[in-house]
Amino acid sequence: MSQLMNTTIGMLLETKASDIPNNDALVYVDRGLRLSYSEFNETCRHVAKALIGLGVKRGDHVAIWASNMPEWVTTQFATGKMGAVLVTVNTNYQARELAYLLKQSDSKTLILMESYKGVSYLDIIYEILPELKTAIPGQLQSETFPHLKNVIVLSEKHYPGMLNWQDLLTYADQVTDATLDQRLKQLDPYDVINMQYTSGTTGFPKGVMLTHHNLINTGKHAGEGMNFTYKDRLCIPVPFFHCFGCVLGTLVCVTSGATMVPVQEFNVEDVLTSIEKERCTAVHGVPTMFIAELNDPAYSSYDLSSLRTGIMAGSTCPIEVMKKVSDDMGANELTIVYGQTETSPGITQTRTSDSLDVRVQTVGRAMPQIEVKIVDPSTRQEVPLGVQGEICCRGYNVMKGYYKNQEATDNTIDEDGWLYTGDLAVMDEAGNCTITGRLKDMIIRGGENIYPREVEEFLYTHPALLDVQVIGVPDEKYGEEVMAWIRVKEGMEIEKSALIAYCKGKIAHYKIPRYIEVCEEFPMTASGKVQKFKLKEQAINKMKTL
């Protein structure tokens, strides 16, 4: 059985820099940036010393609000060396959400980029923190955010009240290597080192506390699931602020000595160019990313022959898309990882040796050293194989808890250490799990339970459909009715009546969508998850006007 690693993120990188100093660690194709493990380690040590020089202590919270910039990944490993807790901020956050996170997380330092997709982060921070404009950099005093002292902008420019990145780096001169090494040795693998906020589709987002031990071992085992070695090169277009990017991406690479090839912000051309130029052997993505890549007009002009594997995750993986990635892109060892932020994030994974059927129809079996069971949601008693229930797990991957929210922690993790995911699944004799939906997404139509995933998978078989999301909408007669939001492939058309006719005789009548809406795109989170609750809101508003 695969063994657990007992180290910290900082020491992990030190070890790799010693073992494979000349191997590429970090490559940005668009920036012409290439750092070996030795160079990357030194860069991270320099940033760690700068943070210590700035006065950041072990256990202090450092929030980072930026896309996949080089400074993001160096900050991840720098905080892992000097013991500050990295608080990751969703790049799509607006003023209200940022203010909530900074206050709830007790962040002492905020690192931010100037703007993202036309939104000025500078305007937002000055809006929620007007006293920053007159503050001395590094000496912020705020009644609203009493913990926040430092704001650092990822820019060469200077802005009122903020240090820029170069200003920060000068603080490293005040700290010796011996001081950093002493701090590094004090850290414990079971220290919380990362906090990520759940999407907050219901209620306020919760801060998930994750340890070195959680993150390193998830990275190690996910890498082993793809047969990763130091020879692999991983294109990472998924956001670092999410576990998919900063665990299944960066830590998968560093635990195996592989090369990180990030894409700063998802763009099909940048992804395909990075794979081709760096001969990437692996690429990660959520299904919508792979759909965009496969349907790009210039797709066939790229040489993707180096691809072997990767991870598709983040939301339900349509079987037809998985087949195309395996057959057309050549990533025939692509794996599926299922999990959530609270599980660092992996619970199950398909293996490269699994048959195509297993890899397209299930999310695989428990990752090493993790227990998985399926229980009746109402009684929490384990159900027999083949029976649907809530999927639960126990092991090294389970979070330490929600920050300052013991009640929510207790509702999620029981006294025996089992974490309840809120997802519905079925397990087969081999231990492979099929996710059938979210407990809260289930549609109840006239007493019949309908799982959107099942209807979506059927609709994907229609040749004109690019993407589909199924939701339940209110209905006076049945309580709820089935609605399908669809995206149609370029150059193709489909009549709603024809799609309904396509369903008849193939799926039960009560599962056939009563309502069908065509759209150009779905509302998404920054991590690539479709926001079904927003589709539901749009549907209800449309129905009110009918």
Identity (one letter) of the amino acid at 252?
Answer: V
51's enclosing H/E stretch is helix 37-54
Calculate the alpha carbon distances from 196 to 51, 105, 129, 312, 460 in Å. 20, 10, 22, 20, 33
Instruction: Write out the two tokens for 374.
Output: 């399926």
Residue in the block written with tokens 């007159």: 134
Query: What are residue 404's phi and psi, to 5 degrees?
Result: 55, 35
> What are the E-state strand segments in 489-529?
515-518
- Do 345 and 218 contact (CB within 8 A), yes or no? yes
d(CA 484, CA 515): 6
Tell me 258's DSSP state: -
SS3 label, residue 188: coil
Q: Which amino acid is at 2?
A: S
Global pTM value: 0.86
How far apart, in whole angstroms, are the C-alpha atoms of residue 352 and residue 206?
34
Q: Look at residues 370, 37, 342, 367 and name the one whose alpha carbon lies nearest to residue 226.
A: 367
Distance of CA 168 to the CA centre of its chain: 28
- What is the identity of the amino acid at 189? P
The predicted structure's pLDDT at residue 201: 45
Q: What is the pLDDT of residues 279-293, one digit of tens each?
A: 999 999 988 899 899
Radius of gyration for the chain, computed over Cα atoms and rounded to the nearest angstrom: 23
Measure the CA–CA gap between 379 and 35, rounded to whole angstroms. Answer: 53
> Around Cβ 399, how many Cβ atoms within 10 Å?
27
* Largest Cα–Cα separation, the chain: 74
Domains and CATH numbers, the chain: 9-23+31-207 (3.40.50.12780), 442-545 (3.30.300.30)
Q: Which residues contact 266 (CB under 8 A, 6 or more apart)?
A: 237, 238, 239, 289, 528
Strands of 389-395's sheet, edge to edge? 370-375, 389-395, 419-427, 433-438
**Rounded-to-integer distance, Cα 401 and Cα 220, Å:** 22
Chunked in runs of 10, what are the mean pLDDT values of the chain (546 residues)? Answer: 92 98 98 98 98 98 98 98 97 89 98 96 97 96 97 98 98 98 98 88 79 98 98 97 96 98 97 98 93 95 98 79 90 94 97 90 95 94 96 98 96 97 95 87 77 86 94 86 94 92 87 93 80 89 79
10 Å CB burial of residue 375 (0-12, 13-18, 19+) is middle
pLDDT value at residue 437: 79
pLDDT given at position 316: 65
User: How many CA atoms lie less than 13 Å away from 9 in the CB half-sphere?
Assistant: 36
Residues 6+ apart with CB under 8 A from 381: 375
**Paired residues of 465 in beta bridges:** 488
The residue with tokens 């693998």 is 189
Region of 32 on the Ramachandran plot (φ > 0 left; ψ -120 to 50 alpha; else beta): left
pLDDT confidence of residue 444: 76
In the numeric block, which tokens belong to residue 518?
Answer: 């065509």
**CB contact set of 246 (below 8 Å; sequence gap of 6+):** 73, 76, 88, 194, 240
The Cα angle at residue 157 between residues 151 and 161, in degrees rounded to 5: 35
**Please, what is the Cα angle at 154 between 148 and 155, to 5 degrees?**
125
Angle at 195 between CA 193 and CA 196, to 5 degrees: 145
Q: Where are the beta strands (DSSP E) in 71-204?
A: 85-88, 109-112, 115-116, 119-120, 150-153, 163-164, 192-197
Check: CB of residue 41 under 8 Å from CB of residue 17: yes
Helix (H) or strand (E) holding 165: helix 165-170
